[in-house]
Each structure stands twice: as structure tokens, then as C-alpha cells.
Structure 1
Amino acid sequence: DSYFDILIDKDQEFSISNNTENLSENFICKGSSDNELLAEYQLFALKIRKKIREIEESKPIIGEEKTFIKSDSLNLIIREKRKEMIAQNPTTFFSVLLLAMSEPDVPDAILQISESASFQYYKQHYFDNISFSDPRLLRSPIVFNKINHFFNYLCEWHPDTVVKYALQLCEKSQTNPEFFQFVFNHLFSSFEKSGKLTHDEAFVVLAEKYCLTGKTPWFSPEAIPMIKERITQVKPTLTGQPAPNIELSDSSGKSIDLKKPLGTWTVLFFWDPECEHCRDLYYKLSVLANDPEMSQLKIISIYTGKNNTLWKNFIADKSTPFVHTIITPGKEKLVEKWDLYMTPRIFVLDNKLRIAFKDPDPENLKEMLFGM
């Protein structure tokens, strides 16, 4: 270990000692009940986790099932230790931290219904143990990590679902202004285009509900017009919206009619062969286009660059079964509605030419559309 943690609350007069040979095992504190409890818990958990590692290392001998059962029983011991320490020290900040780290216990009655019901319960109650009225938690990584874990691994990446849980989290956090500011800023910055959880629908809902109604007073006056502009850019391509009008031509100059669907699903692939990531997606999409089970999927590649000779040479060389197009000369302004802040971009349209998915991984597209 190269570092160790201490808790600093209102009581800041205490002593600590440690040994660099093993910072986790040798941490001792006197004069701070929070840190004395922390040292006790860390040492207990460290010993259990060593046993878990030993069991994991013996997996080739005892088998996967026994490894899981033994490891799970030891993890249960850690969870029970947390509950015991919280019950015995309910007024300490350490207990607030331990409780926030705890995951929801699914009642036996729910467990017996189905795995799906258990997961739904777990998801619904994932943030129950966080005290949203206690901003001291914000000085630990717990809240930050839990929010990221929830939206990365537990929340279905569907607009209605993401928006629902984002709003729920914002409402929960309004018990404390500092907590709300932290939660809102984290979600808002994550959902915008440069964030790690880019999600236009959630971004727009949060912006309109909070930023444009004066509920985020920490934002500078200059930020609000920029947010309004971003909303305007994003709205035409929100999921469920009819695809914005665009006029396209193929390599011979023939007009391509996008006013009626070409298949059950239509993929619009905005790209430039001079972009390495674009080429990667081009090849992945070409695998789909050549899949006989994907005959109801039509892919329209839309060149966004300026070098038409390079583009024609590229598509002639690859002979991929896309409908290869460019934006019809003189109609470039129409593309502004598509929010092409970067290339490549992929839009999947349904049979009514509504936007169904944005920027999906082509390798997952077959299962997303046809469940194959």
C-alpha cells in the first residue's frame, strides 16, 4: 500500500501512527472514535479479503462452484461486520460512511419471486443507504462511485429509464443544497456531449427542469445561454423524434429519397474515410451489411468530408453493400439539424423513420434490433 485513509470531522485533535511496511495493518489512532473504528474495520476486512484471495487462487483445485460459495460466505461476514458496527455506533460519521457503502438487502419474499424481481428491487433501493442530508459524504469517493456504478451497470440505457433515475436522484439530493449541487453537476456534466455517460435526452430534461428555471444558482449568467444553445442543437435528434430532413446524392449524383424507409431499420452513418475511428466503424458495419440475417437493415453511409475523389476511390475499392451518399451540394445547411459535433456518428431509424438509437456499437446492433 502506498497510502492510507483517515477521517477528519469536527474533532480534529487526535494522534495516528503507522508503519510503511504495511500501512493497512499497522494503522493506529487514539483520540478519534471515527478513526479507531476505521482502523478496526480495515484490519478485519483485510484479513477476510486475504482469505478470499487464497480461495480464488485455489479455484483450479476446488472448482468454480465451491470457490463462489466460499467467497460469498466470507463476503457475507464482512457485510455482517458492517451492520454490527453501524448498530453499535449509530451516531458516528464512520457509521454514516459504512451505511453509504452498504448495498440494499433484497427481502426473502422478493428473492423467491424471480431473479428479475430481485434485480428490480435492488435497483430501486440502491441509494437508500446514502444520507443525502449529510454533505460530509461528498468528501469521500462513495457517492461519486455509486452514481457511476448505477448508470454504467444497473440502469437500462433507455432514455425514459435514464431520465427517470436521474430525476429521482436529483430529488433525493435536494434535502441539502451542497449535496444537490454535487449530484446535479456530476449527472449534468456526465450526460453532456463530452461526458463519460453521454445521453442527450437526460441532458435536455435536466437542463430544462433545473438550469432554465433558476434552480442551479451556482451556474454563471454566461452559462445559461450556452446551455440553451446546446438544447437547440440536441433536440432535433432526440430518441423518438422523426429524423430531420436531409438531402443526399449517390456517387453518380442521383438523388436518394429518405422520405420513405428503405428497410425495417435504416442506419445513417456519417463518416469520413480520413478518420481512423470512422474506418473502424465502417468495417464493423460492413460485417452487418453482409450478414444474410440482417437483410431488413439498410445502411446509408454519408460522407461528410470535402475530398470527393478520395471518397469515391475508397468506396470503389471496398465494394461494401452500403448506399453510399454525400450531402447534396447546396443543401449542406440541412445537416446542422443532425448535431454532427464529431464524426463518426450513427443514427438508427425505425420503419417510420423515427430515431431509435444513436451511436450504438455496431457489434451489438444485431442483438439490439433483432434479438439474435
Structure 2
Amino acid sequence: MNKIGTQYFRILFLSVVILLAGGNCRAQREGYSVVVYFEGHQITDSLFLLKYRGSHAYRISGQLMKNGKGLFRGEKLLTPGMYAVELKEKGNIAFLISEGASQHFTLSANPARLPLMLRFDRSPENQAFADYQRFMEKTRKDQEALEKRLQNSKNDMDTAKVLNAAYKKLEQERDNKVAAINRQFPGSMLALFVNAVHEGAIPAPDFPMTLANRDNLIRDYYANYTKRHYFDLVDFSDPRITATPLLEQKIDFYFKHAVHPHPDSVRAYVRPLLGKADIHDAVLSQAATFLYELYRGSLLPEHRQVCVDIAEEFILPHRSKFDDNAFVARVEERTRMARLNPVGGKATDLVLQTPEGEKVPLSAVKAPFTILYFFNPGCDACQPVTDRLIRIYKGNKSRGMEVYAVYLNRDRKVWTDYISSKGLDWINVYDPSGTEMVEEKYDIYAMPMIYVLDKDKKVVARDVSVERLPSLLLQRTPLGN
């Protein structure tokens, strides 16, 4: 298992996912009854039954556990999907319900010794999954030990050859385990789960041992192969995956650990992924929603355009595929606002007031480049950005760079004290009456925010980070930082 796959498996199983699914026998009783027994917990505590939708779990029932035992019971069948037993302050044990499977079972576990101490009654598929967890935990430890030995033996060709053979054997055993589960439980939730987690063995690269940069080439090879094939065994046509955390967890791990955060790189991997998800409405809805919110919450301003791209290509044209109409309406409004002041278009003019009461139009600023800076002295995130921008400005003011800094509050004393303490000698303005509607015109959804304008006040770049500013401006004129 490659490093990304190993890390993902460990993260996924921190919550101890337990499947209750499949089974060839149909339920003989209506409704459901889930008996829970936690060994070694002879206490009275609260138990809650949770239902998953993606990575979110919602409480749907509560019971009191006595002497380590609890019971959830209902007259109606649970709908297919992932559920979890939440034991207060002791973590969750999750399980899946499949259509046609018995919903009358007993779960016995020692929460302090999972997955070792885990047992099921009347659920052979769950028992197989518990075995799979134990197998994968042992395989992970064995692979990590081999990787460490390989690092220490890379100059010993004979030892490295033996260790590589042992590593390949472990990968083959893992492949065989997944294949056996698919044969024994075809089409089951267990098969869906292990296939989605499994990545398969990566073909060994063929780089000559004499290459000076062989280690770097091998590392890049494995990283690129993983990025191309990470979702190969995820069944995007099966909507059951949206009722588990699997899809969102894999997407989250992939884009945080395998994909470079540069917007162009993100777009290059978002499009094919959502293209695969578009095979089923529910899968597309969950994947597109998750990715949109993931990058909307990013600290990198450049990711805002990624959200716009996702909205315009995969959400707004397919709004009928999304059950959450309120979410689609929010996306539509955010996208409309994000289209304001696009790159290449002329920036909306602002006529704002200096501390001395003089009104200065943005359009009247004469400079080859103008940095339009929206900030607030009380904003913690603004402090380091302002300090860096001061240094950039001092190094480049003589080259024609100007800053039009817009204070987004109305407390004049706080603002003027800040100007004095920082020695801000650029153009400082604010909107004391609020009539200019600055935040609406520029969709100030977060602070600080930076725009770069050319001499005609056309937008060169928007929502840029201060770290990127010197290199961005250097493309047009020599600037210091």
C-alpha cells in the first residue's frame, strides 16, 4: 500500500467503521432491534443512534445504557445507509444497513481494544469485515516496518531485493483479501466499502539503479500514479456510497494531501472527478457540494474562483439533481457576486473619504498599478498581511505602485490611530455613511482582500494573497518585496 493509501486507511478506521449489511437471509421480523454490549463498561451512560449522510451524522434516537448494555428498537425498518452507536465520550461504532438484511442483531465490543475485541451475532458479513480490519491493521504495520528497513538498506542491493519481494507479497495478500470478499459477498455493502478503500498494487517503476536522482523519480512516479488512479475502484454509480462517509473522506484526503493547492492544479483534478460522479444524481450532488464547500472554506483567496468554476459547471446547470434547494440558491447568489469585477474588466469605481474628509475616487488614482486593499484593523488575519504590504509598498512606491486601502468599519478614531501607529502613507479611505455599499460592490466575504488594477483600473488579479503579490507584479514591472 502506498503512503497516501496507508494514511487514508488509518484515518478512516479511527472511527472503527463496522458494517452491518448484505446477508442472504431476509429479515423475519418487522422493524429493527439493535442490542449493544460494551465489555468492561459496567456503568450507566447515554447511548445515541446516529444516521450518516456523507460525513455528517445526525442523532435519530437515544437510550440509556445500563451495566454496559443498551437496546435500540423501532417498529419501522431503518432505511439503507450508515448508522452509528454513539457512546458518550467513548467514541462511535458505525454500521451499515442494507436493503433486505436482517435488522435484528447484537454488537459486542470493547471500545478500548478495537478492532481486536469486536464480535457480531447473526451477521457473517460484519464478522468478515471485522476480520478485514484486523488483517489491514497487521498489513499496515508490516508494510511500515518493511519501508523503514528499505530506507536503511537502499545501498545493499541484495537486501533491498529481498525486502521488495516481501513488500510485493503483502500487496498481493491484500489484493487477494479484497477479491475473496467480493466473491463471498458480491454486491454487498462490505464489497462496496473494501473496493472504495482499496487502491491496488502500483506497478513497479523501471528506473536504472545508476540514475543519480532515482529516489526522486520513484517518489514522483508513485505520487502521480496514485493521483491518476485513486478513485478507480470507487463505484460512482452506486448511490449507497452517499449514505456513508466514504466518498467525502476520500475526496477530502485526496485534495488535501495528493493535489497541489494551486488553482490550476485543483481544477485539473476537480473536473474529471465530478465527471465520474455525474453518472448518478445523488453522487454528483454530494461530491460537488462537498468540493464547493471545501474550497469556499479555503484560506487561499485564489480558491474562490475554483468555487465559481464548480458552481457554473456542475451545480447551477444541474440544479434539479440537488435536493437542497436552499444550498443551490446560496451558490447562485454567491456566484453572481463573485462575477463582479472580473479579471480583465474595469473595476467598479468607489468614491471614499480620507481621514481629512477629502473624497478620493478610485478611478482618479494615477499609477501604473494600484493595489486595492480591503481590511479592518481589528481583523487578526489582516495584521500580517498589512505588515507585508507595507514592506512591498515602501520598496516599490518610487516605481509607481499605489495602494488604495479601504477601511471597512466606521470607527474613525480606531482607524486613524491605526494609520498613525503603522505609518500608513498610502491612500487611506473609508465610507463613513455606508452609501457607497463597498462590501456589496466587491463581495467582501472575508478579510483581508486584495485586487491588483492596471493604469486603466482594469482588474489584473483578484482575491490574491499578499505572498503572491510580488511575483504577480514582477511579471509586468520590476518590483521589490
Instruction: Give your verdict on TM over 0.5.
Output: yes
> In the alignment, what sits opposite 2:46?
none
> In the alignment, what sits opposite 2:349?
245
Instruction: State the SS of the aligned residue for 2:320.
Output: coil
Quick check: which has more Rg, 1 or 2?
2
Letter matched to residue 315 of structure 1 = I
**Cα deviation per residue 1:112-165 (whole Å; 9 max; x = unaligned)?**
995667655543333222111223333433211121123333334455554454
| Cα pair 1:201 1:238 within 8 Å, conserved | no
| In 1: Cα distance, 2:14 partner to 2:204 partner | 41
Letter matched to residue 319 of structure 1 = G
| In 1: Cα distance, 2:222 partner to 2:459 partner | 34
| Cα pair 1:170 1:184 within 8 Å, conserved | yes
Query: Are the structure 2 counterparts of residues 359 and 40 from structure 1 closer, same or farther at C-alpha, using a change threshold of 3 Å?
Result: same
Instruction: State the SS of the aligned residue for 2:372.
Output: strand
> In the alignment, what sits opposite 1:175?
279
> In the alignment, what sits opposite 1:147?
251
> In the alignment, what sits opposite 1:218?
323
Structure with more of its chain in helix, by fraction: 1
> In the alignment, what sits opposite 2:198?
102
> In the alignment, what sits opposite 1:23?
114
Q: Which runs of 5+ in 1 are unaligned?
A: none
Which of 22, 43, 63 lines up with 1:10 in the alignment?
Answer: 22
| In 2: Cα distance, 1:40 partner to 1:367 partner | 54
Which of 270, 289, 298 lines up with 1:166 in the alignment?
Answer: 270
Q: Which moved more, 1:235-244 or 1:147-156?
A: 235-244
| In 2: Cα distance, 1:302 partner to 1:78 partner | 60
Letter matched to residue 229 of structure 1 = E
User: How large is the RMSD of aligned CA atoms in angstroms?
Assistant: 4.6
**Residue 135 of structure 1 pairs with residue 239 of structure 2:** yes
Which of 403, 414, 436 lines up with 1:332 in the alignment?
Answer: 436
> In the alignment, what sits opposite 2:173?
81
Query: Are the structure 2 counterparts of residues 110 and 301 from structure 1 closer, same or farther at C-alpha, using a change threshold of 3 Å?
Result: farther
| In 2: Cα distance, 1:180 partner to 1:19 partner | 38
**Cα deviation per residue 1:244-279 (whole Å; 9 max; x = unaligned)?**
333455545373655778456x53221122334333
> In the alignment, what sits opposite 2:131?
40
**Residue 255 of structure 1 pairs with residue 351 of structure 2:** no
Query: Are the structure 2 counterparts of residues 20 and 346 from structure 1 closer, same or farther at C-alpha, using a change threshold of 3 Å?
Result: same
Which of 356, 361, 365 lines up with 2:461 in the alignment?
Answer: 356
Letter matched to residue 216 of structure 1 = K
Query: Are the structure 2 counterparts of residues 238 and 76 from structure 1 closer, same or farther at C-alpha, using a change threshold of 3 Å?
Result: farther
Query: Are the structure 2 counterparts of residues 105 and 358 from structure 1 closer, same or farther at C-alpha, using a change threshold of 3 Å?
Result: farther
Q: Which moved more, 1:128-137 or 1:316-325?
A: 316-325
Q: CA deviation at 1:181?
A: 2.6
**Cα deviation per residue 1:305-339 (whole Å; 9 max; x = unaligned)?**
21334322321222146443335988714653210
Q: Which runs of 5+ in 2 are unaligned?
A: 1-12, 24-100, 209-213, 476-480
Q: CA deviation at 1:96?
A: 3.1
Letter matched to residue 85 of structure 1 = K
Q: Which moved more, 1:236-245 or 1:176-185?
A: 236-245
**Residue 232 of structure 1 pairs with residue 355 of structure 2:** no
Query: Are the structure 2 counterparts of residues 231 and 84 from structure 1 closer, same or farther at C-alpha, using a change threshold of 3 Å?
Result: same
Query: Are the structure 2 counterparts of residues 137 and 281 from structure 1 closer, same or farther at C-alpha, using a change threshold of 3 Å?
Result: same
| Cα pair 1:303 1:311 within 8 Å, conserved | yes
| In 2: Cα distance, 1:103 partner to 1:2 partner | 19
TM-score scaled by length of structure 2? 0.59
| In 2: Cα distance, 1:2 partner to 1:184 partner | 26
| In 2: Cα distance, 1:52 partner to 1:159 partner | 34
| In 2: Cα distance, 1:110 partner to 1:336 partner | 57
Which of 389, 403, 409 lines up with 1:305 in the alignment?
Answer: 409
**Cα deviation per residue 1:187-245 (whole Å; 9 max; x = unaligned)?**
333344x678984434334444443554335233x666554433321111455654333
| Cα pair 2:277 2:287 within 8 Å, conserved | yes
| In 2: Cα distance, 1:5 partner to 1:259 partner | 62
| Cα pair 2:376 2:448 within 8 Å, conserved | yes
Letter matched to residue 113 of structure 2 = N
| Cα pair 1:104 1:122 within 8 Å, conserved | no
Query: Are the structure 2 counterparts of residues 364 and 55 from structure 1 closer, same or farther at C-alpha, using a change threshold of 3 Å?
Result: farther
Query: Are the structure 2 counterparts of residues 295 and 8 from structure 1 closer, same or farther at C-alpha, using a change threshold of 3 Å?
Result: farther
Query: Are the structure 2 counterparts of residues 314 and 2 from structure 1 closer, same or farther at C-alpha, using a change threshold of 3 Å?
Result: closer
| In 2: Cα distance, 1:16 partner to 1:8 partner | 10
Instruction: State the SS of the aligned residue for 1:190.
Output: helix
| Cα pair 2:451 2:462 within 8 Å, conserved | yes
Query: Are the structure 2 counterparts of residues 366 and 149 from structure 1 closer, same or farther at C-alpha, using a change threshold of 3 Å?
Result: farther
Structure with more of its chain in strand, by fraction: 2
| Cα pair 1:111 1:117 within 8 Å, conserved | no
> In the alignment, what sits opposite 2:85?
none
| In 2: Cα distance, 1:117 partner to 1:259 partner | 53
Instruction: State the SS of the aligned residue for 2:240.
Output: helix
Q: CA deviation at 1:85?
A: 1.2
| In 2: Cα distance, 1:55 partner to 1:110 partner | 20
Query: Are the structure 2 counterparts of residues 29 and 307 from structure 1 closer, same or farther at C-alpha, using a change threshold of 3 Å?
Result: closer
| In 1: Cα distance, 2:108 partner to 2:388 partner | 56
> In the alignment, what sits opposite 2:35?
none
| Cα pair 2:449 2:464 within 8 Å, conserved | yes
| In 2: Cα distance, 1:146 partner to 1:2 partner | 14
| In 2: Cα distance, 1:105 partner to 1:32 partner | 30
Which of 41, 48, 66 lines up with 2:152 in the alignment?
Answer: 66
Instruction: State the SS of the aligned residue for 1:229.
Output: helix
Q: Which moved more, 1:26-35 or 1:36-45?
A: 26-35
Q: Which moved more, 1:339-348 or 1:202-211?
A: 202-211
Instruction: State the SS of the aligned residue for 1:155.
Output: coil
